[in-house]
Structure 1
Amino acid sequence: MREMNKKKEMHVWAVVFSALILLTQHRLQSQVAAEGFIRAKGLNFVLNRNKFLANGFNAYWLMMLGSDPSQKSKVTSAFREASGHGLSVGRTWAFSDGGSNPLQYSPGSYNENMFKGLDFALAEARKYNIRLILSLVNNYDNMGGRKQYVEWGRTHGQTVKSEDDFYTNSVIKGFYKKHVKTVLTRINSLTGIAYKDDPTIFAWELMNEPRCQSDQSGRTIQGWITEMAGHVKSIDRNHLLEAGLEGFYGPSSMQNQNRVNPKFFVGTDFISNNQIPGIDFATLHSYPDQWLSGSNDLTQLIFLNKWLDTHIKDSNEILQKPLLLTEFGKYSKGSRFENSDRDQLYRTVYNKIYWSARNKGSAAGGLFWQLLTEGMDSYKDGYEIILNRNTPTVKIISLESQKLHYLGKLFQQKNG
């Protein structure tokens, strides 16, 4: 009898404990939902009916370090330092396809430990009031990308000619769609919140820098974005969606293709790709030192000014959607590099964003490439920024945060 009473007692405590977990998760879900999702309305991002401006960063490594108990403290440090400098949006990878220690071993087969690393990154971002853009696949073969998907297609009996078959082969597209659904419906192991219901996520990104060299008309990528935007929206209507474009002009804007593009023709079209239903805002990358290699810094700055001005104008007048500069930076390992040249580039980018936002234009923020914290030497690529180092570049980043914060408050007062 005593043994039966003990079992009953244990059962009661188990029920109570489960109820407390469910209650805690419900409260957390209610609290997060009350915080609201970022929306796009006309040229603006909006949060709880107020204009939302974003100063932010890229940190593609969050999931990987978050999955490693010996390294995950760096995720927390990065968010703490970013928040301390007023940064409110980060961009990171929600993919790692094949290879060693991946997120996705093979189509539909996942590494739970790596997924928990992404759970941790989202949970920590929320603590520091930072929203994350999650990119769903890579154009490049770094961490798998299109190349890995095409290889998976081959192992499943598909006849494929090149990596560009990623965009057209129905079986390979099915692998990607399954990955999208898996990520969007993932229940965070730390918060109990489904990703598709989590306002910590700013937006989904279909691909990091999609390119299709075999079709310069842009029709292949146009079709793929259209199909995949519809797929994402069929699962998740809460979050914003963007395509991941670098901003190269295509056939729909021949004048800008010839006048503004840095002689890059990669099968994308800034105008038509961003006009697709389901694409909520336009994105832009900017690397004058890569795209105009061999040119001097003055030439690169002239290009940068034209590049930003033209895209802001087209987002204002043609797309009539917000524009987010989701990658920019300057390489610091070249023989001619001067810190002052990078500072000038950052000032140029931030001034364009500020004055566009100040005058009710489409530019809503910029995310530099890339944020690191101390002790991450193996991740240094020449573009890294470490915020706890009191450099002039860090001061420029902090000042932009202050200016955008002030501007946001100003708009609230006018609309209040």
Structure 2
Amino acid sequence: MKQQLLALVALTLGLINNGAAQSQSPDIRDLPVIRNGSLLLLNNKPWKAVGANVYWLGLGENVLPSPGEPYYPPFHASYPTPGRTSQIMSVITAMGGTTIRSHTLGVSVGNPLSLWPSPNQTNPDAFQPIDWAVYRARVYGLRLMVPLVDNFDYYHGGKYTFLRWAGFNLSRSADERNPQVQEFYNNSKVVNLFKAYIETLLTHQNAYTNLTYAEDPTIFAIETGNELCGPVWGDMDVPTEWVRDIGRFVKELAPGKLFVDGTYGVNRTHFAAKEVDIFSNHYYPVSTAKLQRDLETLASVDKPYFAGEYGWLGNAATADASLPAWYRQIERDPKVMGDTFWSLFGHNVPECNTFVEHNDGFTMQYGNPAHAAQIKIVRQHFVKMSQGLSISADAELPPVACPAPTSLTEVTPLNV
């Protein structure tokens, strides 16, 4: 299977290069997203990051793999198939999106299928699905935001994994309020382990593109982590010096990447961290009042704002949680660089006869009639953000083939 995929990639990259040579114009997929004050630019034009959280692209937990494929039963962990990943790229494109935020493209520690099953021990097999996801995003013209660690203790690992590796016997279920969790930020052994992991990730050369993750502009942003905080949930107790230290380290390895503060909330003390390019927050449920407070907090800083997660179902019972109203507020404020809803799942590829399910209540499934009305609202917003506020999306949702196309000639990349 891997040899067939590599052959397909060689053909695809050949088509890309031939097309670029014939047009004598740069392939926008080779250009980085850059920050100019509070705006993001791509090819010297304003660019917005809108799309979905697809947390499982590097390592999943919702699908029982085929017999003989890698599987870790205690965490229900398995690698997503190339077909599942390709279909999700097709869905994002159909929705008018530009971006995917994906935890497991960067967070993968502590179980046998992880990038780092144990400290400083790299599992080369774990790079296969990540390589494929980065490559397929590049084919479709999508960009990726990659968190480096998780505040929680889920199947893909996170800050508690690094703490345990350094000798702190902690878990989130028992020790969330234990002051020792701050050793993730303050203990030199933990920090050095974390940096070594970051280096392993960013210096890896993708088998499909021959680019390291640091080099590939498809990964446009690196985020410190997902919903980081201290011993008290939502306290934003993430030391500024740690943010600066990790930011410096990432930019030394990958100077073309934008750096995102992954604290759960906008921490004013982090305004002193010049390494931070983007500030963010999450919304459960969406709230125009909360968004306004965040934007007012950021008014003194010439940097963009990103709504990294939000519940796409909204809450019709309260006007403040109206998804269309929240979108309108985002659309009219140029400081908001974009948003990615939580969270997107596709079909059981290649059978394509059912949807993959997840149990958190926020699972969007494109093609599911029960989700169609809300998906149209989301798609209208994506089109306005990515193509211009005067542009309206078609009334009907475009069909997405399952299985998804596998050759470049069958794919219509964005903005290429």
- What's the counterpart of residue 352 of structure 2? none
Question: 3-state DSSP class of the match of 1:195?
Answer: coil
CA contact (8 A) 2:288 2:320 kept: no
Aligned positions of 1:290-369 closer than 5 A: 304-315=287-298, 317-329=299-311, 345-357=322-334, 362-369=335-342
- What's the counterpart of residue 282 of structure 1? 279
Aligned mates of 1:92, 1:116 — CA distance in 2: 15
Aligned residues: 343
Q: Summarize deviations over 1:83-115 as a string: whole Å, max 9, x none.
A: 011010110121221124222111221221111
Aligned mates of 2:233, 2:330 — CA distance in 1: 32
Unaligned stretches of 5+ residues in structure 1: 1-16, 249-268, 289-300, 411-416
Question: 3-state DSSP class of the match of 1:106?
Answer: coil
Question: 3-state DSSP class of the match of 1:351?
Answer: helix
Shift, 1:275, TM fit: 3.8
- What's the counterpart of residue 222 of structure 2? 204
Distance change (3 Å), C-alpha of 1:173 and 1:330: same
Shift, 1:321, TM fit: 0.6
CA contact (8 A) 2:134 2:218 kept: yes
Question: 3-state DSSP class of the match of 1:57?
Answer: strand
Distance change (3 Å), C-alpha of 1:85 and 1:150: same
Shift, 1:378, TM fit: 4.3
Unaligned stretches of 5+ residues in structure 2: 1-6, 71-77, 170-177, 349-354, 392-416
Instruction: Give the number of the structure whose alpha-carbon radius of gyration is greater.
Output: 1
Structure 2 counterpart of 1:86, one-letter code: G
Distance change (3 Å), C-alpha of 1:155 and 1:284: closer
Q: Which residue, 75, 78, 92 being the options, matches 1:82? A: 92
CA contact (8 A) 1:243 1:274 kept: no
CA contact (8 A) 2:228 2:263 kept: yes
Q: CA RMSD in A?
A: 3.4
Shift, 1:187, TM fit: 0.3
Structure 2 counterpart of 1:88, one-letter code: T
CA contact (8 A) 1:274 1:282 kept: no
Shift, 1:212, TM fit: 1.1
Aligned positions of 1:235-250 closer than 5 A: 235-248=253-266
Shift, 1:356, TM fit: 0.9
- What's the counterpart of residue 164 of structure 2? 151
- What's the counterpart of residue 187 of structure 1? 205
Question: 3-state DSSP class of the match of 2:360?
Answer: coil
Aligned positions of 1:13-412 closer than 5 A: 35-64=30-59, 71-93=81-103, 94-142=106-154, 143-154=156-167, 162-213=180-231, 221-248=239-266, 269=267, 271-288=268-285, 304-315=287-298, 317-329=299-311, 345-357=322-334, 362-375=335-348, 377-390=356-369, 391-407=372-388
Structure 2 counterpart of 1:328, one-letter code: Y
Q: Summarize deviations over 1:220-268 as a string: whole Å, max 9, x none.
A: 52121111111111111101011212225xxxxxxxxxxxxxxxxxxxx
CA contact (8 A) 2:224 2:246 kept: yes
Aligned mates of 2:138, 2:259 — CA distance in 1: 20
Aligned mates of 2:279, 2:196 — CA distance in 1: 25
Percent of matched pairs sharing the same residue? 23
Distance change (3 Å), C-alpha of 1:378 and 1:193: same
Distance change (3 Å), C-alpha of 1:169 and 1:50: same
